[in-house]
Amino acid sequence: MKNTATIGMGFLEKLFAVCFPVVLGTIGWFIPKLLDFIKGIPLFSDSKIIQLLELFNPFWVSTILMSAGVVIGVLLSLTVYSEALKMSVNDQEILINKDNHEKIIKKPEVKEIFMEKNEVVITGNKGQELLREKTDITKEKIRKIFRTYHYPWCEQDPYADEYVLWTLDDHTLGEKVNSILYERRKAIREGDKNPSSTVAR
């Protein structure tokens, strides 16, 4: 591959990946030492698990729970690494790796690249979204990398003015369209997603 710049895990993603094994391992180690305190809580005073843990040597219980915490922490760290957006950019293509899947976007296919809040958005020549993914990397760093390889960077969403927020009081589109948009908003809300609906101008 030609001279390539890499966009990897952000600071928070790296912090989580490092801290999970340490934090969970530490918690596992100290659980047996907290049994007396836990037994003082009415909800756990008669817990069979606590009674079982008291039958074993506290050192070995701490060791086993610490090891289990570290293993669980490593698995969580691998999950964070897998889900983090990673991109390799050169003057010919963008290689995207996320969720253990790779995708290549050729430079001639790209119409605009911009960031919307904490999401990287790449659109194609027909206005379609080729990529929309969250990242912890700063906008400044991502802008610098794409500009270095002369990709078409936009400071803001170039399509922002083409859409308007729809509300129940908006009657400019007619009752039939309002009914469709209302049902769509209702379905989105029931799915615990962003309830806002937008329509093209």
User: Is residue 145 domain-resident?
Assistant: yes
Per the structure, how many domains does the chain have?
Answer: 3
Task: Let me know whether 140 and 166 are in one domain.
Answer: no
**pLDDT tens profile 112-160:** 999 988 899 999 998 889 999 888 888 999 999 999 999 999 988 776 6
Statement: residue 106 has pLDDT above 70: yes
Q: Which of residues 55 and 112 earns the better pLDDT score?
A: 112
Domain boundary among 28, 49, 83: 83
pLDDT of residue 1: 45
Domain boundary among 56, 83, 110: 83
Q: Which of residues 47 and 163 earns the better pLDDT score?
A: 47
Angle at 107 between CA 10 and CA 146, to 5 degrees: 35
Task: Let me know whether 179 and 146 are in one domain.
Answer: no
Tokens of 120: 């990287």
Statement: residue 198 has pLDDT above 60: no
Structural domain of 172: 161-200
Task: Let me know whether 130 and 176 are in one domain.
Answer: no
CB atoms within 10 A of CB 180: 14
CB atoms within 10 A of CB 48: 7
Looking at the whole model, is its pTM more than 0.75?
no
Which residues, in sequence order, are CB contacts of 138 under 8 Å at separation 6+?
10
Task: Let me know whether 133 and 74 are in one domain.
Answer: no
pLDDT of residue 160: 67
Q: Which of residues 162 and 35 earns the better pLDDT score?
A: 35
Task: Let me know whether 72 and 12 are in one domain.
Answer: yes
Task: Let me know whether 149 and 166 are in one domain.
Answer: no
Distances (CA, A) of 72 to 81, 116, 183: 14, 33, 42
Task: Let me know whether 113 and 70 are in one domain.
Answer: no
User: Is residue 3 domain-resident?
Assistant: no
User: Is residue 52 domain-resident?
Assistant: yes
User: Is residue 168 domain-resident?
Assistant: yes
Task: Let me know whether 79 and 12 are in one domain.
Answer: yes
Statement: residue 197 has pLDDT above 50: no
